[in-house]
Structure 1
C-alpha cells in the first residue's frame, strides 16, 4: 500500500532544503522556515498545535512556533522529515488519515510560490485519497459562506456543500479542489461557475481552518 503522507513529507523536506530558509510560500507572511516550524510544532507539541483550530490557544501556539523558527534550519527540516513515533498526528496508525492532505497542501504551498511552477501529475491513488477528504473539508470550509456549492471532480464523483440559496459549481482534480477549499484559491487550477457575486465571495473567503 502506497504511503502518500510519507512521500509528500519526504518531498517537502527535500524542497525545503533545496530552496533554503527564506524561500517564499503562498502563506501570507511565511517563508520556508516558518512553514517548517509549523510542521515541527504540529508533530511534536500538541498543546501548541491545537491553536490552529482553537482560538484561545492561538497566541500561545504562535509563540511556540516563532521560538522554533530560531533553531538551525537543517535541524528544523530534519525534524520535519522524522516525526517522533509517539506523535498524536503522525504515528503509524493515523499518518495516512491525518497527514496525506496536510503535507500535500504544504508541499504545494512551497512549490506554487516559486517562479514558473507547474501542477504535478499526481498518481491516481493519491488523487483518490485526496478526494475522500475533500467532502469533509468542503463542509467545514463552507459553513460560513452563504450559498451552496456543487463540487465535481471528473472520474471521482460529486457532492454539494454549504447553506441553502444560490448555487455555484466548482470543478477540478481532487488535489486542486483540496487547495481551493483549504484557502489556496488563488493558486488552485479549478473552474468556478456561478453568479459573479457568489463566485467572488468564494474566491476571497477565508476557507479551511
Structure 2
C-alpha cells in the first residue's frame, strides 16, 4: 500500500473519530466540508477546476455544498474508496500531499495534538515532494529561505539577498509549513522581523 493510500485510510479514520462537525485547519471548514472537498476534487471534473481557477469557483462552491449534505458515513465511504479507476494509476503522485496535509489538518485542529513519528521512508518521500514545491511556496519571501532537516539535508527554497531565515525540522513539518500551515513544530533562525515575515507569508501553492 502506498503512502498516499495509507494516509487516505488514516484520514478517514481520524475524521470518523472526530465527527462531522469537528474543526479543521482549512479555514471554517468542518470535517464534513473537507470530505466533500476531497470527493469533488476526485469525482467531479466539471467542478474541480474551481479549486484553482476563480471563474469556476462559484460552481465549485455550489457543487461542494450539495455534496456535503449527504450523510457523513456516505462521504467517508466515498473518500475511503479512492479515486475513480481512471485516476488510480496516478493516485500516489496526485494524492500523497493532499491526503497527508489534510490528515494533519484534522489532527492538528484538535486540542493537545502532537506530531506523528513517521518512518524514515515516509519522511524521504515527503522530502522529495518538498524540494519540488518549496520555491513556489516561498516565492513571495522578502528574504532568502533555507530548509534543513535533522539529518543534514538542505534546500534553498527562495533566494532574496543576504538575509536568510532557516527553517529546521523533519520533512513532514517543513512540508506542512510550505503548505501554509502554522500548527507545526519547527525551529526558525534569523532576524526576528525576517522570521515573522516568513511565517506570515501567503504560502499557498
Which TM-score applies when normalising by structure 2?
0.93
Match of 2:171 in 1: 174
Gaps of 5+ in 1: none
Query: Are the counterparts in 1 of residues 173 and 185 from structure 2 also a CA contact under 8 Å?
Result: yes
Gaps of 5+ in 2: none
- Structure-2 change in CA distance of 1:87 and 1:143 (3 Å): farther
State how far apart, in whole Å, the 2-side matches of 1:130 and 1:120 are.
14
State how far apart, in whole Å, the 2-side matches of 1:47 and 1:31 are.
23
Helix, strand or coil at the partner of 2:48: helix
State how far apart, in whole Å, the 1-side matches of 2:111 and 2:169 are.
23
Helix, strand or coil at the partner of 2:85: coil
Helix, strand or coil at the partner of 2:151: coil
State how far apart, in whole Å, the 1-side matches of 2:134 and 2:46 are.
26
Across the aligned residues of Structure 1 and Structure 2, the Cα RMSD in angstroms comes to 1.5
Helix, strand or coil at the partner of 1:170: strand
Matches within 5 A, 1:111-150: 111-150=107-146
State how far apart, in whole Å, the 1-side matches of 2:167 and 2:10 are.
28
Q: CA deviation at 1:169?
A: 0.5
Helix, strand or coil at the partner of 2:76: helix
Q: CA deviation at 1:139?
A: 0.9
Query: Are the counterparts in 2 of residues 147 and 198 from structure 1 also a CA contact under 8 Å?
Result: yes
State how far apart, in whole Å, the 2-side matches of 1:87 and 1:205 are.
36
Runs of 4+ in 1 over 6 A off after TM superposition: none
